[in-house]
Amino acid sequence: MQRTKNPILNQVSNADVMDRSNSASYLGISIKTGILLLTTIISGLFAWFLISTKPESAVTILSVSGITALISVLLASFIPRMAMPFSILYTLAEGFILGAITVVAELFAPGIGITAVIITVVIFGVMLALYSSRTIRATSKFRKFMFSTIIAILIFSILGALIPQISALFANNFGLAIGLSAFLIIYGAFMLILNFDQAEYIVDAGADKMYEWSVSLGLMITIFWIYIEVIRLLIILAANRD
């Protein structure tokens, strides 16, 4: 059980891999991911309708949903036995956030939402094909690079929030803004490789089915990342065109 350094999957104990009759499967992961995706779509559409009819509710929706999503994802990640309810709650909250973001994006360019969805689906399909064909593998060096990069991204984000000049630099430079957004989309795409590797890991290890929710949650987090960054890129392009 030394293949991954993922803190969630490291909680898979020997007891969790004893009963093969109740072990994780690709079908189970697919079904649970579908449930979370459907939950996201429903809450996103509801948020879209609510904000379209009551624009003043946007701030409240984003604030409550943001706090709920953060608490839910932490609990689902570090308490695997509670992953199912909190994963669903997370996607409900995240759906509201994505719905609100999409409504705002549509103000810049109608149709930007469906375009972002299509691009996200294409990215997911391409990365799944590359992983399935073993064109890209989640080697130990690849994992170290990805986790080091996310730490660098977090540090850069914090500095950007604390130092206005950094944010202004990217806001006022079209090339830098495009480059940063494209980099974050590419990073999200490669994060999918880690998600697919985690799915393969728990299935091969015969881990308990409850870990299917942990893998599905990880997939949804990455998909949300990609969608938001694609929306950001499309907004930048639309604003520059105008």
| Listed residue (210, 201, 220, 203) closest to 85, CA to CA | 210
Once rounded to an integer, what is the mean pLDDT over residues 168-194?
A: 87
Once rounded to an integer, what is the mean pLDDT over residues 38-52?
A: 90
Once rounded to an integer, what is the mean pLDDT over residues 92-109?
A: 90
> What is the separation, in whole angstroms, between the first and last Cα of the chain?
54
Torsion angles phi and psi, residue 23, rounded to 5: -90, 160
Once rounded to an integer, what is the mean pLDDT over residues 108-127?
A: 93
Tell me how many degrees the CA angle 141-70-188 measures, rounded to the nearest 5.
35
Whole-number pLDDT of residue 17? 47
CA-to-CA distance for 70 and 201, rounded, in angstroms? 26
Whole-number pLDDT of residue 4? 46
Q: Among all chains, which residue has been given the structure tokens 């199912």? A: 84
**pLDDT at residue 35 greater than cutoff 50:** yes
Whole-number pLDDT of residue 77? 86
**pLDDT at residue 1 greater than cutoff 70:** no
Whole-number pLDDT of residue 19? 53
Higher pLDDT, 168 or 226: 226
- Cα-only R_g, the chain: 19
Once rounded to an integer, what is the mean pLDDT over residues 90-118?
A: 91
CA-to-CA distance for 235 and 108, rounded, in angstroms? 7
Higher pLDDT, 11 or 240: 240
Helices 58-78 and 26-53: crossing angle, nearest 10°? 160
Name the least confident of 10-19, 54-63, 93-102. Answer: 10-19
* Average pLDDT value over all residues in the chain: 86
Under 8 Å between Cβ of 176 and 169 = yes
Whole-number pLDDT of residue 175? 82
CA-to-CA distance for 104 and 58, rounded, in angstroms? 10
For the residues of the chain, what is the DSSP string, one character each? --S---TTGGG--GGGGS-GGGB--HHHHHHHHHHHHHHHHHHHHHHHHHHHH-GGGHHHHHHHHHHHHHHHHHHHHH-GGGHHHHHHHHHHHHHHHHHHHHHHHHHHSTTHHHHHHHHHHHHHHHHHHHHHTTSS---HHHHHHHHHHHHHHHHHHHHHHH-HHHHHHHHS-HHHHHHHHHHHHHHHHHHHHHHHHHHHHHHHHT-BTTHHHHHHHHHHHHHHHHHHHHHHHHHHHHHHH-
Whole-number pLDDT of residue 233? 93
**pLDDT at residue 9 greater than cutoff 70:** no
**pLDDT at residue 34 greater than cutoff 60:** yes
Q: Tell me the whole-structure pTM to 2 decimals.
A: 0.86
Name the least confident of 149-163, 178-192, 199-213, 218-232. Answer: 149-163
Whole-number pLDDT of residue 8? 46
Under 8 Å between Cβ of 232 and 177 = no
Under 8 Å between Cβ of 225 and 191 = yes
Beta bridge partners of 23: 208
